[in-house]
Structures are given as structure tokens and as C-alpha cells.
Amino acid sequence: MARGSLHIRGGGKYLIKGGNNRYDVHMAVDPVREWPIPPAGGFTVDDFLQMRDLPKHTELIDGGLVFASPQRKWHRQVLDMLRQALDAQALEEMRADREMAVRLGPRQMPEPDVLVVTAEAFSRPEPESYYFAEDLVLAVEVVSPDSEERDRDTKPRKYAMAGIPHFWRVERSSEDRVVVYAYELDPVSTRYVPVGIYHDRLKTGTPFDMDIDLTTAKERG
């Protein structure tokens, strides 16, 4: 076969040159997706809510779009286990949800992995796609390799400043165990203070009495 060269034309049309021959070939080419460029000062929550076709679990942090990598199985299994356990043991006036955005401020709309909210907020018809900061009793972040800094520092600070009373950070230990770091809000400093570290079993009285077997993440619910 004669050696040739490939030249790209517009509209997905390719021109192949080989020797004295020229061939026009039409090929389907996926267009490169272009995301909106933030304006000076960043996007507002209202801007964010009007955007369409964003990847799943996109967050708005400090006016910028933050995209999530595909979830790993361990991450999803832990999310399922915690949401089910929290919802089953929550007080009647509370419900557990997962992966719902929270409107924290004009340019802040993160998405906790698991949330405990008021039953009223869980059941109300509007807004359908997010909660308000005051709806939350607990925000939970399950740390992933691509989100370590956000889950350990950026997002907890945002949650604390917004007045969310409780925060959990969930880590995967080197022994493949689930470890939960629990925090409670100090309303004076608007910072979280550590209240416990839990391996294998999470038994606590805040924000309500619960006893969760953390070893069941991979078991059938």
C-alpha cells in the first residue's frame, strides 16, 4: 500500500494523499465539548442552575465548576451503606439522602456524598434539585483520590461557615477498612471540632442515637 498523509478539513472531512491519488473521506467526529468560561468573579448559583448537560455530580465551588471522576466501587458501596443506615436510624423528623447539591452561598453549591436533612426539606416539592444549608443536620464526604483536598479541607470549611451542625469525613484505610472522622460545629469560631474516630463500628449519640456496622459496606442491603 502506498504511504500517504492525512490532513484534517473542517466538518469532519479528511483528505488523504497517497502518491498521485487524492481521496476525500467523510468521517464522524465527536465534537470537542466546550464548557462555559467563568466571568470575572466566577459563576453564581443562579448561573449554575441554568446550565444544561453538565456531567453528573458537577459542583460549584468559589464560582468555578468542579467535575467529578467516575466513582469507584468502594466509594459507591460506602455511600449506599451509610445512607441506608442513617435513614433507618434517624429520628422521625429527619431523613437521609445522597448526592444532592446544597446551596451554601452566592457562589457555592457543593454536593455532599450523603446528607441528613429535615423531613420537611426531604418531602417538599420545590426546589427539586438542591437543599439549603439550613436544611442539613449532617454532611458526609467519602474521600476519593481525586477529591482529597476538597473533602478534607475546602468543603468542610464551606459547610462550617454555612452553619451545618455536623460533618463526617470517611476514609479508606490501608487495610481496606471504613474509617469515619466525626466533627461538630463550634458556633463561636464557625469551625468543626473533632468528636470521634470510628473503625468498624460507629456508635454515637450525635446528631441522634445510632449504631452502624461499618464492615457491611460490601454486603447486600
**Domain residue extents for the chain:** 1-32, 65-216
Query: pTM for the complete prediction?
Result: 0.83
What would the pLDDT profile of 60-92 be if each residue is shown by its tens digit?
999 999 998 888 999 999 999 999 999 999 999
Report the pLDDT value the prediction gives residue 160, as an integer from 0 to 100: 99
Mean pLDDT throughout 114-141?
A: 98
Under the banding of pLDDT at 50, 70 and 90, the label for residue 221 is: low
Average pLDDT, the chain: 88
Report the pLDDT value the prediction gives residue 23, as an integer from 0 to 100: 44
Of residues 146 and 65, more confidently modeled? 65
3-state secondary structure the chain: CCCEEEEECHHHEEEEEECCEEEEEECCCCCCCCCCCCCCCCCCHHHHHHCCCCCCCCEEECCEEECCCCCCHHHHHHHHHHHHHHHHHCCCCEEEEECCEEECECCEECCCCEEEEEHHHHHCCCCCCEEEHHHEEEEEEECCHHHHHHHHHHHHHHHHHCCCCEEEEEEECCCCCEEEEEEEEECCCCEEEEEEEEECEEEECCCCCEEEEHHHCCCCC
Please give the CATH superfamily to which domain 65-216 belongs.
Answer: tt1808, chain A (3.90.1570.10)
Under the banding of pLDDT at 50, 70 and 90, the label for residue 31 is: low
* Residues 128, 134, 136, 142, CA torsion sign: positive
Report the pLDDT value the prediction gives residue 71, as an integer from 0 to 100: 85
